[in-house]
């Protein structure tokens, strides 16, 4: 019997179908598997952490994404207005329609 913490997964990390009944210790950490997958030495299908819990996301892809997002076009600096913000809002604001009537 293995002990699971509150943050451990409860479904096998290899088949994603059966409950966790075994743990395999590797240099990268602990794999939580069902008995069948542990006996057959099946690999985990996804790494939850690191980096973001996205299947197939490697450290190389993360570094490339950071490079792309830090190129000055994606979220760098304070927010900017669009090229054509449109007409200014009216001043003073129009009075609201009375309750129960459609807006004018």
- Give the residue extent of every domain in the chain: 22-69
For range 87-97, the mean pLDDT: 85
Residue pLDDT, tens place only, 48-65: 555 455 556 666 766 666
> What pLDDT does 58 receive?
64
Q: Token pair 């997958």 is at which residue?
A: 37
Q: Which string of DSSP letters, residue by residue, matches the chain?
A: -----TTS-SB-TTTSSSB--EEEEETTEEEEE-HHHHHTTPPPS---SSSSS-TT--HHHHHHHHHHHTSSSSS-SS----S---SPPPSSPPPPPPTTS---
Residue pLDDT, tens place only, 2-52: 888 888 889 998 888 999 999 998 887 889 999 999 999 998 876 655 545
Separation of alpha carbons 13 and 29, rounded Å: 13
């Amino acid at each position: 019997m293995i002990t699971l913490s509150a943050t451990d997964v409860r479904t096998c990390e290899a088949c994603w179908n059966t409950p966790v009944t075994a743990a395999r210790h590797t240099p990268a950490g602990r794999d939580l598997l069902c008995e069948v997958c542990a006996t057959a030495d099946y690999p985990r299908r996804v790494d939850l952490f690191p980096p973001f819990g996205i299947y197939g996301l490697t450290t190389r892809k993360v570094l490339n994404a950071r490079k792309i997002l830090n190129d000055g076009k994606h979220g760098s600096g304070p927010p900017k207005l669009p090229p054509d913000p449109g007409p200014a809002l009216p001043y003073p604001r129009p009075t609201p329609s009375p309750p129960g009537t459609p807006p004018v």
